[in-house]
Amino acid sequence: MGCKINPSAPSVLCKFRPTIPELRTKTVFFSSSSSSSSSSFSHKLQKIRYSSTNLEVPSTEAKSYTVSFRTARDCRLGISRYPDFAYNAEGGKGTGSGAEVADNLADNELLVSFDLETLYIPPLTSSTTKFLGLPLPPFLNIDIVPLVFQGRINKESGKVDLEFKAKFFFSAGSFYKAPPLLVKTVLTSEESKGTIKSGRGKRLNEEGKCKLVGAATVDPVDDFLMNSFLGLPTECLAELNSVINISESS
């Protein structure tokens, strides 16, 4: 586009360049005896796929948590070598669940997964986005449809690493709709660095505020106009000021 706690289309492949090490995929199952209405823990099991090194299944005695996510003003989105878009993401929100990592309880590290049905990221429109100090043209619209939002939050250090995957739908009125761009990255409170785009986030503070950044590579789509206009393949960067609140489930 700071916080406590900026899906695969056949025509697009995105490779992310987070600064965390190369990760391997493991499957983790969460379970809880809590009667909370939290979407992840009120059901018998939730299956979470998350890329991690030495990821362990949380103990059945581990506490469960409710996690809320909100996006704020003064975010930025950049693509290719164009100047960044100034983006007001206020109003974005989502809820999810967290559980302590079995081998890391002393460090207060949680595995978290957000419910996609509750996750909303405001579109880029003339009312939310400016380019070179001017609002986007009224007919231009970029919708963001999240496909994955999950990862790790360290309550002690404030470090956040959240895998984020989304489709970006570009349209110009009713006369032009481009194939969706698939963006896949890790939104991190640390540094995210690509070849031409990079940014540094801020860890969660006591108020739950943080800045999450993520650089990603965007491959061409089956649309000559979009490929030419954006210079695909290229890189994009998101900087999201956010608020993440974590509370123990009852």
Q: Are 34 and 250 in contact (CB under 8 A)?
A: yes
180-213 pLDDT tens trace: 999 999 999 999 999 999 999 999 999 999 999 9
In angstroms, the CA 98 to CA 32 distance is 11
What would the pLDDT profile of 63-90 be if each residue is shown by its tens digit? 899 999 999 999 999 999 899 999 999 9
The dihedral of CA 209, 215, 220, 225: what is its sign?
positive
List 32's β-bridge partners, or say none: none
Longest dimension (CA), the chain: 56
Q: What is the tens place of the pLDDT at every residue in 88-146?
A: 999 999 999 999 877 655 578 999 999 999 999 999 999 999 999 999 999 999 999 99
Give the integer Cα–Cα distance in Å for 2 and 213.
Answer: 10
Which residue ranges make up each domain of the chain? Answer: 14-248
